[in-house]
Amino acid sequence: MSKTVAARSDKNALYLVDSSIYIFRAWHTYGSATDALGNHANATYGFIEFLHQLISRRQPRLIACAFDESQGRSTRHRIFPQYKANRSPTPPDLKHQFALCKGFVRACGIAAYASNDIEADDIIGILANAARKDNITNVIVSADKDLCQFVGPTDAAWDFARDTWLDARLIEKRFGIRPHQIPDLLALTGDKVDNIPGIPGVGINTAARLLIKWGNLDALLDNIDRVGSMKFRGAKHVSGLLQEHRNTVLVSRQLTGLHIDPSIAYDADALTIKPDQKALHAIFEQLGFTSQQRSQWYELLEC
């Protein structure tokens, strides 16, 4: 394979946007701004600018935006109440902007997905798996390493801000394991960002070494006694840690993999852009868009 990621040149790829990460990024970096009604709108304007750049640069035929709405009541929280407990609650002004961003996406005629039970990561995973069965290449737009687990043989993860692309081969080179092994790796190492416990003292390199040897977490846990004879420094100690923290790892594994919401349905036709001009006009009014800004979007959306 050449150095160019194949998915990058696929004109028919499905772009799956991890919207929340770009809304939060705009919230922290875009500065102070309000809409025509006087509501805070800095994250909204920043996200809209990001979306305009994405569509302008890639001109996707198929696109979907996934939003986080579970906010402390997801399936993962029922499994492990401390999940993401290290994060501050979303400010009310930002909650309002999440809704406004989702409304803008829908007015553009872009598919917008959200769930009270699962997260945006899961939505992207569900859609990516379904599209792959339909022989469609996926481009996952996110800077979140967890989403690399959904990158198939012809797919890619695109960190928009850094403009870096990772296909399955490059993910394996970076993490030392294949994309589908990432949930097992995170169950072993833990994830401080999401407050997922792991095994103290077991880092990415050790976890990758174990998964390369045994293939998956179940096989590894079935062979804990044999880990001690592996050819790396501290193997016996790691074997003891695996035994000691076995139950923690099993709980963590329930948090790091894909969760399903039957209401999230894949429909290729719904993933094409179909602008709603009436809704666009209304949201342009609310956001106080100038004539030039409106024209730019109408031209971009070809409406």
Q: Quick one: 128 exposed, middle or buried, by C-beta within 10 A (0-12, 13-18, 19+)?
A: buried
| Position 88 pLDDT exceeds 90 | no
Which residue has better confidence, 90 or 280? 280
pLDDT single digits (tens) 146-191:
999 999 999 999 999 999 999 999 999 999 999 999 999 999 999 9
Cα separation of 234 and 229, whole Å? 10
CA dist., res. 149 & res. 191, Å (int): 15
Task: Report the pLDDT value the prediction gives residue 3, as an integer from 0 to 100.
Answer: 57
Number of residues that this document lists for the chain:
303
pTM as predicted: 0.95
Structure tokens that stand for 236 in this block: 């016996």
Where in the chain do CATH 3.40.50.1010 domains reside? Answer: 6-170+259-301
What end-to-end distance do the CA atoms of the chain give, in Å?
A: 39
What's the rounded mean pLDDT across residues 262-282? Answer: 96
Contact criterion met (CB below 8 Å) for 128 and 16: yes
DSSP state of 118: S
Which residues does residue 18 pair with via DSSP β-bridges, in sequence order?
A: 66
Burial class for 172, CB neighbours closer than 10 Å (0-12, 13-18, 19+): middle
May I ask the CATH architecture of the domain 6-170+259-301? 3-Layer(aba) Sandwich (3.40)
Q: Per mean pLDDT, which range of 65-74, 112-121, 214-223 is the poorest?
A: 65-74
Q: Which residues contact 133 (CB under 8 A, 6 or more apart)?
A: none
The residues with which 65 forms a beta bridge, in sequence order, are 17, 112
Whether the pLDDT of residue 4 is over 80: the answer is no
Q: How far apart (Å, rounded) are the C-alpha atoms in residues 84 and 196? A: 8
Quickly tell me which residue has 């499994």 as its tokens.
79
* pLDDT > 70 in the chain, percent: 99
- Indicate where the chain has its CATH 1.10.150.20 domain(s): 179-256
Architecture of domain 179-256: Orthogonal Bundle (1.10)
- pLDDT at position 90: 86
pLDDT digits (tens, 9 = 90+) for 13-60: 999 999 999 999 999 998 889 998 899 999 999 999 999 999 999 999
Say if residue 1's pLDDT is above 50: no
23-37, 138-152, 236-250, range with the lowest pLDDT: 23-37
Question: Cα-atom radius of gyration of the chain, to the nearest Å?
Answer: 21
Cβ(101)–Cβ(23) below 8 Å: yes
**What one-letter code names the amino acid at 146?**
D
pLDDT of residue 2: 41
pLDDT digits (tens, 9 = 90+) for 254-264: 999 999 999 99
- Percent of the chain, pLDDT > 90? 91
